[in-house]
Amino acid sequence: MGTWVRIPQRVVEEHIRWHNVEGDSSPGGRGIPMGEPGSGEEFLTWHAAYLERYMRWRRRNGLLPIRPWTRLPRAVVSTGEIAHAWNPPDLAAYPTLDALGLTVESTVHWAMNQGAVAVYKEPILGTSASPLSVYFWRLQGLVETWRRRWLAIHRGD
């Protein structure tokens, strides 16, 4: 059995739609197909808002927040799915938020999920229903930390 979180089914379905309906945001899918210009920033921005909505739901329902990872756990990195250079990443090397998001989504995000699948024996992390796992939220919190740090470096936010 996995390390499941309490979560409304509609929140899981929102994640599934966003990842599975590309190029049409009207039914809740992503507006820009993965890998196209603008999709990296869209990926980071959408997931930041998704994370905030879920954490707000947890607070309203008297649940403690899920603490994000501040670094990838050594065991996840040691699976070889992700390069050690991403622990932590050189955020200053990405000239745009889109460039960071394109890299995170196309390589690092998937590798983090697969590393966590291997380490924590949590196969759902390899699917778009991954929000059912507490590890999804820890990973998303880490990605959001990277996004915020990038903003602070590049925009002074």
Dihedral angle, C-alpha 129, 134, 137, 142, nearest 10 ° = -130
Q: How far is CA 11 from the centre of its chain?
A: 14
- What local confidence, expressed as pLDDT, does residue 93 receive? 95
Least confident of 6-15, 37-46, 81-90, 124-133: 81-90
Residue 17 φ then ψ, to 5°: -60, -45
Whole-angstrom distance, CA of residue 18 vs CA of residue 22: 7
Q: Which tens digit of pLDDT belongs to each residue from 70-128?
A: 998 888 888 877 777 788 889 999 999 999 999 999 888 888 888 888 999 999 998 98
- What local confidence, expressed as pLDDT, does residue 131 receive? 95
Q: How far is CA 150 from the centre of its chain?
A: 15
Q: Which two tokens stand for residue 86?
A: 């991403």
- What local confidence, expressed as pLDDT, does residue 2 receive? 59
Average pLDDT, the chain: 90
- What local confidence, expressed as pLDDT, does residue 83 receive? 76
Q: Which amino acid makes up residue 154?
A: H
* % of the chain exceeding 70 in pLDDT: 97
Place of tokens 């390899």: 126
